[in-house]
Amino acid sequence: MGNLKISEWRKLPVSLAELCIDTTLRCGQSFRWKKAVDEDYWSCTLHGRIISLKQDSTHLHYRTIFPEVKDSLHHQPVVKKEELEDENEEDDKDDTESLLRHYLNLSPNLTEMYEQWSLADPNFKKRAPKFTGVRILKQDAWEALVGFICSSNNNIIRISQMVNNLCLHYGPLIGHIDDQPFHDFPQPEALTGSGVESHLRALGFGYRAKYIAQTASIVASKPKDWLENLRNPETFDHPFEGEVPAGGRPGYRKAHEELLELQGVGPKVADCVCLMGLGWGEAVPVDTHVWKIAQRDYRFGKGKHKSLTKATYDAIGDHFRGLWGKEAGWAHSVLFAADLKTFSDKLVSKVEVKVDELEVKQENGDVLEKKVAVKREYPSEEVDIKEEKVVIKREGVTDEIEVKDEVKVFEPSARSVRAKRRKL
């Protein structure tokens, strides 16, 4: 296989309740995982290798592609999908399993955590069953920082495009799967050149180009382990004991404050980095989705918390920390995923079928034509999907009018919410 070393598919015992990669890898945490066209696996570069993941109900399956010659990363051969299954290169030094256990944060028992949050919060208990296995990743802090600077006034699709463009132009090439290149994430030093900002603007980064270039220069000028030293030193094997103080633990507050000194980093971006890049579980990023959730389900948006001010932002975080505990950011991410249109298919709850028959008659009473309308409705609290089919019968000939699908995501009115509460 030329200069690429490809492992066989290996597996880890992980249930879908403990990790669902189809949700976790596309819910706005990491922006570089790509799902292969017409395939059932996800791929990404991590620590100088390409890792592919797929999953069944009981196991996580993974495959690793290493560049044989690490000094020539920009000249790797193309790997064909049909050839990947035939390669069984074994490498005693392959540490991919330990890397995955770390990156996917597999130590905590997620099922137990869901149970605790459900006992504490009826709203979580109501929404979580359709979003099991949402796990907070342990990403590289630098990658998380840049990714969430790109998230400002943006959506997941565009953020992913920006991050992948950044890797394509500034990250080392690891190899190809078919014709798709896979680059590792660029280090800060790669983004400190004089032409970086203008180049990023040309690539469509907009005002974020300046923030990325300036932040890269700041981070590159600091001690090498500056970001990593802001990481939560505690682990799930040696957890923090006791109640989380208002505003979070001192280490979290210190990390948050230092991140705010960087260009393009506000409270939300700092909290995203703290949660998904530095391991501070009590960090609760509040964006437009979470603000909507706080108003809809937790009675924010009134009185002194009518708008999303700094005081309201802090109050939402403290409310969720008091409700869910030191891993409030994990629970928040489950509700965040439940609010994304990407996963609206999970919210379809039941099917109702209605059949209406209409007759068109002439003056003498003879039936000229008969119309049979079949309506299918799939109601749920957030999604209303309707299909309608009209069958017209004329003199023994049946015509079908095209099926119309409408997907509408809506918010219940204040009146309907109050009525529902009265019923409860």
249-290 per-position pLDDT tens digit: 999 999 999 999 999 999 999 999 999 999 999 999 999 999
Q: Which of 217, 218, 200 is nearest to 209 (CA)?
A: 200
What confidence score (pLDDT) does residue 4 get? Answer: 76
- Residues 316-353 have pLDDT tens digits of 999 999 999 999 999 999 999 998 877 766 654 444 44
CA 186, CA 31: separation in Å to the nearest integer?
A: 14
- Whether the CB-CB separation of 230 and 258 falls below 8 Å is answered with yes
pLDDT-derived band at 305 (thresholds 50, 70, 90) equals confident
Using CA of residue 301, residue 302, residue 308, residue 310, what is the dihedral sign?
negative
H/E run at residue 64: strand 59-67
Mean pLDDT, rounded, for 292-299: 94
What confidence score (pLDDT) does residue 68 get? Answer: 58
What confidence score (pLDDT) does residue 243 get? Answer: 79
In the predicted structure, residue 410 carries a pLDDT above the cut 70:
no
- Beta strand 10-13 pairing with 59-67: antiparallel
pLDDT-derived band at 73 (thresholds 50, 70, 90) equals very low
Catalytic residue among 54, 138, 268, 326: 268
- CA of 142: how far to CAs of 133, 216, 418, in Å? 25, 9, 45
CA 140, CA 162: separation in Å to the nearest integer?
A: 17
pLDDT-derived band at 88 (thresholds 50, 70, 90) equals very low
pTM of the model: 0.77
268 is catalytic: yes
- Whether the CB-CB separation of 228 and 138 falls below 8 Å is answered with no
pLDDT-derived band at 405 (thresholds 50, 70, 90) equals very low
What confidence score (pLDDT) does residue 201 get? Answer: 97
- CA of 223: how far to CAs of 185, 227, 252, 381, in Å? 20, 9, 20, 50
pLDDT higher at 369 or 386: 369
CA 400, CA 30: separation in Å to the nearest integer?
A: 45
Number of H helices, E strands in the chain: 15, 14
- Whether the CB-CB separation of 163 and 191 falls below 8 Å is answered with no
